[in-house]
Homo-oligomer: A and B are copies of this chain.
Amino acid sequence: MPHSFSFERTHRDPETLARTGTLTTAHGSVKTPAFVGVATRATIKALEPQALVDLGLQIVISNTYHLHLQPGEDVVASLGGVHGFSGWNRPTMTDSGGFQVFSLGASKDHGVGKVASIFPGETAPTRKKRTGKPLVKLTESGADFRSVIDGSPHSFTPESVITIERKLGADIILPLDECTSPLHDHAYTKRSMKRTHRWAIRGLSAFRTLRDDPTFPNPDQVLYGIVQGGAFHDLRLESARFIGDLDFEGFAIGGSLGKSKRDMWNVLDWSVPLLRDEAPRHLLGIGEIQDLFTCVARGIDTFDCAAPTRLARNGSVFLKGAPRHRINLRNAQFISDDAPIDPSCDCFTCRTHSRAYLRHLCRAGEFSFYRLATIHNLRFLVRLMSDIRNSIADGTFSSLSKEWGFPL
């Protein structure tokens, strides 16, 4: 049994499913709802781990696929797991790598579409085969794929992924799943979901076997289950019931969330109420500002999303009240603008540099820009999530959401 993992619910919004809580792990606690920083390769792009501490980020998510390929889980384990390896000694998740196997592995560079999975005798509807040899072969036992780094062959099974994640030693880990595409039809999505369910049982079983083995770096690790089912009502209900009944410590909503915000909200409206209220709920790969409000309102506790840091590197920085709550520093209007990105922001970047200087760095392609812009966008989200938590505690969540332009 995990020794130091718990999730305490503290406040509820009277009008929505929004709630606040405290997620406690062996590496500290996370006030929820929370934004989870995306540290794919055990670093958030352009930021050293100490900068995350300084800006108040509570938790990061790294990727099993990437760390398996480079530097390898045994290297990470020998250095104390992702915490010892990176020096980030706070709560950490690892995604299972399922999404990466099926998307990055079959990337355009290699001449195949986003999804290239195969059932025996069946081709996924979205599969556009452009080479004779698929880069990913998916069977009941797991996935065979080639490294995007050097083309070397690798296999993931539900069991091997758990072993890799035990070695990586994050506080919260996720089992191998197949991440279907919004273009997959009902039949494919159902078959895929059923297999993901069988993999969930296998992953849980493997996790129980390994959990108390003292050779792994983090004895207090926990496993979340992943709800699949695409944007199909019956499948989401089935998956939420199936996964929700298993002995996971928390739940993630994964896979295709449809083709619109409305589809995504439907998925949450169907799935979340079927998950045990006392378990934390994570939404995989989602985190635009609007989503933070609308999905918290649907009972989500944690989010991870690469967009805020990717936007930053492209010059797009958050500013409340601007269109989509962001401005692009590449814009000529900022060339001599002596103001900080956001005069009300307390981040290092806003305390130290003008829009004009940041715009210059951005246009010159200076690496220092990536870091400064990323600091601002993450600090902005850290403060926004804090405001959201406070509003839930105060009973003003709906009005806060409306104030930001997202009536619930």
CA distance A335 to B354 in the complex (A): 40
Q: B43, A356: Cβ atoms under 8 Å?
A: no
Q: Among residues 160 to 205 in chain A, which have CB atoms less than 8 Å away from a CB atom of chain B? A: none
Query: Is residue A357 contacting chain B, with contact meaning CB distance below 8 A?
Result: yes
The digit string for A69-107, where 1 denotes a CB below 8 A from any CB of B, is: 011000100110000011100000000000000000000
When the two chains form their complex, are residues A42 and B357 in contact, meaning their CB atoms are under 8 A apart?
Answer: yes
Known: A48-B352, A71-B360. A41 touches B366 (CB 8 A): yes
| Alpha-carbon distance A286/B86, docked complex (angstroms) | 35
Q: Which residue of B lies closest to A359 (CB)?
A: B71
Contact B361 A43 (CB under 8 A): yes
Partner of A372, one of B48, B352, B372: B48
Kindly state whether residue A346 has any CB partner on chain B within 8 Å. Answer: no
User: Would you list which residues of chain A between 357 and 380 have a CB under 8 Å from chain B?
Assistant: 357, 359-361, 363-364, 366-368, 370-372
**Do A367 and B45 have beta carbons less than 8 Å apart?**
yes
Q: Are A367 and B70 CB-contacts (below 8 A) given A75-B336, A79-B357, A86-B357? A: no
Please give the distance in Å from A40's CB to the nearest CB on chain B.
Answer: 9
In contact, B75 and A335 (Cβ under 8 angstroms): yes
Closest to A361 in B: B43
CA distance A198 to B70 in the complex (A): 58
CB contact between A79 and one of B50, B71, B336 (< 8 Å): that residue: B336
Q: Does A408 contact B (CB under 8 A)?
A: no
Indicate if A353 sits at the interface (CB-CB under 8 A). yes
Within 8 A of B (CB), among A317-372: 335-336, 338, 348, 352-354, 356-357, 359-361, 363-364, 366-368, 370-372
- Tell yes or no: A47 within 8 A of B by CB: yes
Closest to A372 in B: B48
A357 touches B85 (CB 8 A): yes
**A348-B48 Cα distance, complex, nearest whole Å:** 11
Query: A366-B41, A367-B46, A368-B48 given as contacts; is B70 within 8 A of A356 (CB)?
Result: no
Residue of B48, B75, B366 near A45 (CB, 8 A) is: B366
> Would B48 and A356 count as touching, CB distance under 8 A?
no
B353 in contact with A79 (CB, 8 Å): no
The answer on a CB contact under 8 Å between A70 and B364 is: yes
Q: Which 6 A-B pairs have the closest CB atoms?
A: A46-B367, A71-B360, A41-B364, A43-B368, A48-B368, A78-B336
User: Can you give 14 A-B contacts (C-beta < 8 A)?
Assistant: A41-B360, A42-B360, A44-B368, A46-B367, A47-B368, A48-B371, A50-B348, A66-B364, A71-B356, A79-B336, A79-B357, A86-B357, A87-B352, A367-B370
Contacts A41-B366, A87-B352 supplied; 11 other A-B pairs, CB < 8 Å = A41-B360, A41-B364, A43-B364, A43-B368, A45-B368, A46-B368, A71-B356, A71-B360, A79-B356, A368-B371, A371-B371
